[in-house]
Each structure stands twice: as C-alpha cells, then as structure tokens.
Chains A and B, each alone.
Chain A
Amino acid sequence: MKRLLFSLTLAFLLTSFFAGAVFAQGSTPTDDEVNKVAKQLYCPVCESTPLDVCPTEACRQWRELIREMLADGKSEAEIKQYFVEHFGPSVLNEPPNRFASYIVPVVAFLLGALILFRGFQMWMKPSTTEAGAAMKEAKPVQDEYIAKLEEELKKQK
C-alpha cells in the first residue's frame, strides 16, 4: 500500500514536472510576434520590400526561420544578428553605423542655421545707401488691405 502510494506520487510528480517543462518552453510564436521582428528586416533578395509583407516563397521560409528562432528563445537582437551575418548588413532597415547616417543632416542643419543667422545680422545692420533708407521708411505692405478695412471699421464704431 505504501509502495503503491509512493509510486503513484512519484509518477504524478514526474508527469507534472514534464508537463511543466513542456509548458515552460512556450507555445509556437504567433504571426504577430514573427512580424514584429520581420518588420525590422528587408527581404534579402527582393528590392526594397520589408520582410513582413514580402509574398515570395523565400520570404515565407525566412519568416518560418524567425518563428523557429523565437521558439528557441532567441532574442530579437540575436535574430537580427543572424540575418546580418548570413545576408549582409543591407538586410537591416537601418545602417548599423547610425552615427555616419545622422551626422550629415545634423551638421547641414546647423550650418544652414549659422549661415541664416549671419545673414540676418548682416541684413539688419543700419544701411548708408539711399535705397536702404527708403526701405526702412516703407510701411509694411501686407496688411494694408485689412488694416484699411479695420480703420474704417473703427471709424464707424
């Protein structure tokens, strides 16, 4: 009786242990989880097509590969690294060297702002020529139309 109880308990514990292990491995990654990674990659053979929308057979296989790797517990970064090693850095949707890509626009903007600012300084200097003086006295033209209407309006009030 004790031995039977013992074996049953052991059997019960073992099965729940294995059942637990199976559950711990996690279910198959969903399409959404695969897409989340695939979105950040481009199809290695098609032109400019993100991997999550590419309809070809090859892309289907790569998405299945991502699913397998996710099921294995690989992280997003590891999966992306795998793709880069096998298909080259062009498979990522961003250049690996971020600095090189952002530096130029930032510098260009700062340069442009600098030039503009210097221009402002130059143009706001008091001028000695006739034309400059005439310009200073010129009334702002743009709102003349509305300003006139508002003047008349005020007069009527």
Chain B
Amino acid sequence: MIAQFGFGVLVVSFLVTLYSVFAAVYGEYKKSPSLVESARRAMLLTWPLLTLTAGVLIYLLVTNHYEVQFVYEVTSRSMPTYLKVTAWWGGQAGSLLFWSWLMSAFASIATLRKWDRDREFLPWVIVVACVTMAFFIGMNVFFENPFAQLYQGFDGINAHTFQPANSILITPDEGRGLNPLLRHPGMIIHPPMLYLGFVSFVIPYAFALAALITGRTDDRWIRLTRRWALWAWLFLSFGLVLGSRWAYDVLGWGGFWGWDPVEIAAFMPWLTGTAFLHSVMIQEKRGMLKHWTMLLIILTYSLVIFGTFLTRSGVLSSVHAFAQSAIGPLFFTFIGLTLITSVGLIIYRWDRLRSETHMTSMLSREALFLLNNLLFMSVLVVCFWGVIFPLISELFTGQKVTVGPPFYERAISPLFASLMLLMGIAPLSAWGHSTVTTLSRAIWKPAIGAIIITAVTYFTYTKNIYALIGFFLVALVILVTLYEYWRGAYARQKSQGENIVTALWNLTGRNRRRYGGYIIHLSMMLMAIGILGIELFQTETQGTVAVGEKISISDYTVEYKELASWDDNPRGVNYTRAVVDVYKNGIYLGELHPRKDFYFDSQQSMTIPGQRATLRDDLYVLLIDWEPASTTGTTFKIYVNPLVNWLWLGSLLFLAGVFIAAWPDSDPERVTVRAGRRIQQTSAADD
C-alpha cells in the first residue's frame, strides 16, 4: 500500500515535469507570460513531490519492508538506522531518485531568484531542467522502480509495480544488506557530494542553452551562473577527494586512486570545469572567446551525463559498475539528444558568439590561461581515450584490453607538471600585456628560492629526478603565490596604515575571487606534495609471521603481538583483530590494530588498516588473509606512504579557498555605480 502510494507520487512528479516542459515551450511560442509562470510554478512543485516520494522510500527502508525489492537488496536487520537511511543511494533505483530530488532542489533554487532582467531565459531554463528531470524520473517510473514489490508467481519470484494475476506478495525475513565496503562514513558522504557536483552543473548548462536559444549571448548568462559553476565545482572536487580518502582507508590497496573508469568518469567533468573557471575570467576581462567558454560548460555537463551513463549501463567494467539493466538504451538516447542539441545550437549561434579578439602578447595572462585550457583539455583527451580504448579495441579486434595506471600516469604527469609551471608564472602576468622582461623581473626571486629549496631537498631527502622536478615546481608556485599575497598586503599596509593581519584579511575580502583562487592554488600544491610522496616513494612489504615475530620496512619494525576473533551478532559481523607494536629505529611508537570485519548477511569482508599518520609518512598495516589468520601464521601487508597526509591537509585548505572565492558579495555592476571611491571601482573590475 505504502509502496504503491510512493509510486503514485513519483508518477505525479513525472507528469508535472512534462507539463512544465510543454507549458514553458508553448507559453514562449504564444508569448504568454501566464503560461510561462504556470510552468515555473509546476517546476516548483516537483521538489515537494519528490521529497514526499523520498520520504516514503526512506520510511520503507527504515522499517524493514523487505517485500519491496529495493529495500530487500540494500538493507538488512543488522544495519543501524542511519545506514538504512543512506542506503537510499546504495542501489541503482534509489540513487536515480536521489539524483532527481537534487535536481528539483537546484532547479527550484535557480527559479526562486528575481527574474526581472532575464525574463527571456526563464522558459528555457525551465525546459532544460524539466526535460532532464523527466528523463531521470522516467527511468525510475518505467525501468527501475524503487517501489517494485516481490511477488511469487508461476515463474518464480519477480518484482512488479502492481500485483500480477495468480501471484502472492512475498515478504522475505531479512534483507541482503548493503555491501560492507559501503558501510563507511566516507561512503555515506561521497556519493551525495559527487551527485551535488554533477547535478548542480545542470543549472549553468541550462542558462547556457537559454542564452543560445534566445540569442542573448552576451555576458549575462555567465554572470548569472558563474557562482553556480563554482559551487558545483566545489562539490565535485570534494566528492573526488572524499572518494579518494575512502578508497585509501577502506579498500586496502594502499593507494587513493586506481584509474578505474568510473573514477575517471567523475574526473573528466572536473577537468573541463576547472578549464571553464579560468576561461570565464578571460571572457569577463577581455571579452574574448565566448564560444570557447560556452563550449566548455556544455562539455562539462555532457561529460557528467556521459559519465553517469557509462557507470550505470554496463558498457564498461568497473568496481563501481551497477548491475547492467534496461536503462542503458534510454540513457544513451538522452546523451545523444543532449549532445546533438547542444552542438547544433552552438553552430547555429556561432556568429553571435564572435567577438573582436585581440592579444598583444603571448605572455599575457589571457594567453597563459589559454595554455592552461589546452593542457586541461589534453588531460581530458588522455582520460577519455583511456576509457574508450578498451571499447574500440574490442569492437575492432575482438580482444578486450585493459588500460591501467601506467598509461594514465605516464601521459598525464608531464601535462600536470606544465600546469604547475603555469601556476607559477600566470599570477605574475598581467591582463593584456606582459613581456619576457616584466615576467623575469617578477619571477627571478621566487625562482631562486625554489632552486634553493630543491637543492636542500636533494641533499637531505631524495635524489629522484622526478621528485626534484615536482618539488621545484611546488616550491615555485608556493613562493610566487605567497609573494603576490605579500605584495598586496604590504602595499595595503603602507597605504592604509593597517597592520599585516588586517591587511591580509581586507585584501582577501575585497578580492575574494583572486585571493581565494590563490589559496586554492596553494592547497593544490600541498596536495601535490602528498601525491609526489606516495606515488614516487611508497614502499610495501608482505609477510607471514607468528606471534612474537617482526617485519621490517623502511626504518619501521612491526611486531605481531596478539590476535583475537569475536562475533557481534546484533550487528551481524565477525571481527578478527590483530595487535601489533610499532618501532622506528628501535624506539617504541605505539600499537596498531588492523582488523578484518566479516559480514554474515552479504558473506563479504572489509579490511580496516591500522594507520599511524604523521606529516612525514603514513605507516599502514593490513591484516590480509592469503592464509586464515592465526597465532602461528598471520599475513600482514605493510605500506609506508611518505608525505601522503599533505594530500588530505591540502584538501581541507582547498575547501577554505573555494569558500572564500565563492562567498557571495554584492553584484559588481551595482558597485561601479557608487560614486567616488576608486578603490571600490578597481575591486569591482578585479572581481
């Protein structure tokens, strides 16, 4: 009953989105503002409806309604309530609903703003948002119904929306339970964060299409959606970082990124999104390259949908892949439609996007930003090709191949190194004009500093050439960025008489985008330190030891002290826990407790490493069961990951940086109207 009610609300939402699309299109065609307003109201209705639908589903999840197929598949009695709630996005049907719910939320937020100056965009934004929602809700309604119930008929037990003839409703006693790997805090936040990123890119896309359709291709659409794009990019970045942290903590592979196709599917929109954030600045400062910026946002959204399609359709094999299902063809149609419409519109409006493009110097900031874009697009090509290559190979030669980490690492490292170099030069370059002379004058001090730091690293830490190049670039970027900060703060300090702290605060506050951006660059360099450390200097060892024996790695010694195994029946888990003592150069550092959790319902286990984290390195001890664990012979795998915690530290700073850059301030156009204060005007021009 309840399940069918939920389905009913879902169907109503579907119909409402369809109505919204037609009303908007027809209202625009008939130039009827009331029809368009009706479409807007209909769209605002979707969020309450979908919230109700989601509420029903969560209720079913939490109250163990195993006759509902989705509930049966992703929950079990031994799961705590909060996990049952988050199981909402633990399976295909539920995660599609989650996507639709987020979409309706964002679309509603976007439409609740004042539309006075942009009335002509409204119907098209509604159309794009509602067509997307209609597709996702439609997939739930027609193919992957989260409310389908289990019925036993002559052909066995199957899931149906409505009771078929000659069948009875089956209520299993217990559910299958969520894959243990997903029962981790990281896994609870990572999908929602990624979805937030993915879904929020729809709004800038909708505005871009609206601009193309209406022909209003001036900067207005960019101003409206720049902040959306930045927040979307924030969520996406954070989703990627969380996924990496989860993989590092829980998968037991000693790494944080596996170049799995689904990881790459989430990485690709991030690449174009980053390129977009830079290219947008060129458009605003120099009025150049509108078509390129437009292309980037369309590409970002297309990659989002494409990535979602790839992960769910079974086209690619991946640890992430949901089971393949009938939604593949439907998704494919949606992608085809999206790409063809977008490309068609851009070509149609190409001449309107043209602007007088003039550059006076190849070292000007816009030129360097374009180089930045070239590099990001090259990384994108590497990723895309790596993902598509097995498919093409299988189609042409009949043989499946795997494209793994070596390809990506080799192809992308030089590109990212070049990007880091740019990060060190571009802040010193001016919009419109820069020469070798002006740049060298600005850069020689940080460059010398970076060389000195690299030399010190050479003598004290490592002679590895790749690491040295990496550290040089990191040092260069950090020094240049700090130098920029210092310059501005110092000047402010002298002219305004502020002390250094206030100067820094006000400097950042008045130029949030620039200085927030610099903080982001700084944070990326911290992350680069972490990545260089773990990628170039990771060591690992594995061995089977009895109690009392030791394993050595790097300058650590790990001694196996004891083993315990016990059941936790209410939670349906068996824990096997080892205690090991850690010594470094003979000095006792403490205990670690690597563990294996075996879940009875899904018959799968999860390895929890014992970790000792410092800035210098991570000691990472895993209990692995090549042989069953015992006191006479337990197998441990130990990783030493140098510098890896800089990666996580950097990601926190990154959060801060994006918040600063994205923090809303008053509409810059209104600020210029304020008479008098030059400083206000220049800060507006800067923002």
Contacts and interface: CB of A to CB of B under 8 A. Distances in A.
Interface of A: 30-32, 35, 42, 47-50, 53, 55, 60, 63, 88-97, 100-102, 104-105, 108-109, 112-113, 116, 119-120, 122-124, 127, 129, 131-132, 135-136, 138-146, 148-150, 152-153, 156
Contacts of B541: 31-32
Interface residues of B, number: 74
Contacts of B411: 102, 105
A150 B298 CA distance: 41
Interface in B515-562: 540-544
Contacts of A144: 682, 685-686
Interface of B: 251-253, 258, 260-261, 285-286, 288, 317-319, 321, 356-362, 365, 367, 370-371, 374, 377-378, 381-382, 385-386, 389-390, 393, 399-407, 411, 415, 430-433, 487-488, 491-492, 494-495, 511, 540-544, 605, 607, 624-626, 635, 637, 678-679, 682-683, 685-686
B378 A124 contact: no
A145 B542 contact: no
A90 B491 contact: no
19 contacts: A31-B541, A31-B626, A32-B543, A47-B317, A88-B400, A90-B390, A94-B403, A95-B393, A101-B407, A104-B381, A120-B362, A124-B358, A127-B356, A141-B686, A142-B430, A144-B685, A144-B686, A149-B495, A150-B487
B406 A93 contact: yes
Given A55-B625, A89-B401, A140 B432 contact: yes
Nearest to B260: A48
Given A101-B385, A141-B285, A31 B400 contact: no
Contact of B685 (A31, A92, A105, A141): A141
Contacts of A53: 251-253
B366 to A, nearest CB: 9
A153 B494 CA distance: 6
A47 B319 contact: yes
Contact of A149 (B358, B362, B370, B491): B491
A97 B402 CA distance: 11
Q: Which 7 A-B pairs have the closest CB atoms?
A: A93-B404, A149-B491, A31-B542, A90-B400, A95-B401, A140-B430, A108-B381
A148 B487 CA distance: 12
Contacts of A119: 370
Contact of A105 (B317, B381, B400, B402): B381
Given A95-B389, A105-B382, A132 B543 contact: no
Contacts of A141: 285, 431-432, 685-686
Contacts of A55: 605, 607, 624-625
A54 B432 CA distance: 54
A88 B397 CA distance: 12
B181 to A, nearest CB: 11
Contacts of B261: 48
B276 to A, nearest CB: 16
Contacts of B624: 55
A141 B359 CA distance: 14
Nearest to A31: B542
Contacts of B253: 50, 53
Contacts of A92: 401-402, 404
A109 B381 contact: yes
Nearest to B367: A120
B374 A132 contact: no
B678 A148 contact: yes
A140 B359 contact: no
A132 B393 contact: no
A48 B258 contact: yes
> Interface of chain A, helix or strand or loop or mixed?
helix
A5 B258 CA distance: 66
Task: Specify which of B288, B317, B405, B491 lies most central, judged by the most chain A CB atoms within 10 Å of its CB.
Answer: B491
Contact of B542 (A35, A100, A148): A35
Nearest to B596: A55
A142 B484 CA distance: 13
B543 A113 contact: no
B375 to A, nearest CB: 8
Contact of A94 (B252, B404, B605): B404
Contacts of A138: 432
Nearest to A110: B378
B363 to A, nearest CB: 11
- Specify which of A47, A96, A97, A122 lies most central, judged by the most chain B CB atoms within 10 Å of its CB: A47
B456 to A, nearest CB: 31
A63 B511 CA distance: 57
A145 B686 CA distance: 8
A108 B384 CA distance: 12
A123 B359 contact: yes
Contact of A146 (B318, B321, B382, B487): B487
A31 B635 CA distance: 10
B681 to A, nearest CB: 9
Contacts of A124: 358-362
Nearest to A127: B358
A47 B430 CA distance: 49
Contacts of B487: 146, 150
Contacts of B390: 90, 95
Given A63-B626, A152-B495, A49 B399 contact: no
A57 B663 CA distance: 52
A144 B685 CA distance: 9
Contact of B431 (A123, A140, A146): A140
Nearest to A124: B359
A30 B624 CA distance: 15
Contact of A145 (B377, B403, B683): B683
A10 B393 CA distance: 63
B378 A48 contact: no
A61 to B, nearest CB: 11
A39 B252 CA distance: 14
Nearest to A102: B411
Given A93-B402, A129-B356, A136-B358, A116 B374 contact: yes
B356 A131 contact: yes
B403 A146 contact: no
Contact of B491 (A63, A108, A129, A150): A150
Nearest to A131: B356
B502 to A, nearest CB: 14
Given A31-B542, A148-B678, A132 B358 contact: yes
Nearest to B318: A48
Given A47-B319, A109-B381, 12 more contacts: A31-B541, A90-B402, A92-B404, A95-B390, A97-B401, A101-B407, A102-B411, A112-B378, A113-B374, A124-B358, A140-B430, A142-B285
A156 B495 CA distance: 9
